[in-house]
Amino acid sequence: MKTCTKCEIEKDESEFNKDKSRKDGLASQCRECKKKYQNKYYQQNKEETKIKRGKYHKEYYEQNKEEIQTQDKNRYERNKIRNKEKFLLRNARERAKKKGIEFNLKLDDIVIPDICPILRHTDI
């Protein structure tokens, strides 16, 4: 039996990794503690990677500012359309309520066509 220096629990030798640099040829910490340490190391690394990635993003943003801003604008336009749909839905619901009609339209049921339906030549 050998006591782990980390968790101070006496464990079987098989619970310890081999370590030739140690007097008894076994690591001072049990496998479980090593694992925990590795996890912690991994977590710390993950944080660092995240920071690095964030920095990369900033650089990427600087280099592609215009493109990103165009994308943002497109997203904004799309949101505007979505909001319009929500607005229409709310209006329709209000009207239905006033008339005492059961309202079961969902947002997905409202589609604002890209092409004006009146000017459209063919029926799609």
**Given the rule CB under 5 A, which residues bind Zn ion?**
4, 6-7, 30, 33
Q: What angle do CA 37, 43, 47 make, to 5 degrees?
A: 145
Of 5 and 44, the one with the shorter C-beta distance to Zn ion is 5
Backbone angles phi, psi at 104, to 5 degrees: -130, 25
Strand ranges inside the chain, DSSP E: 2-3, 10-11, 16-18, 26-30
| Cα 81 from chain centre | 25
Of 8 and 66, the one with the shorter C-beta distance to Zn ion is 8
Rounded least distance, CB 24 to Zn ion, Å:
15
Rounded least distance, CB 8 to Zn ion, Å:
7
Of 42 and 60, the one with the shorter C-beta distance to Zn ion is 42
Rounded least distance, CB 9 to Zn ion, Å:
6
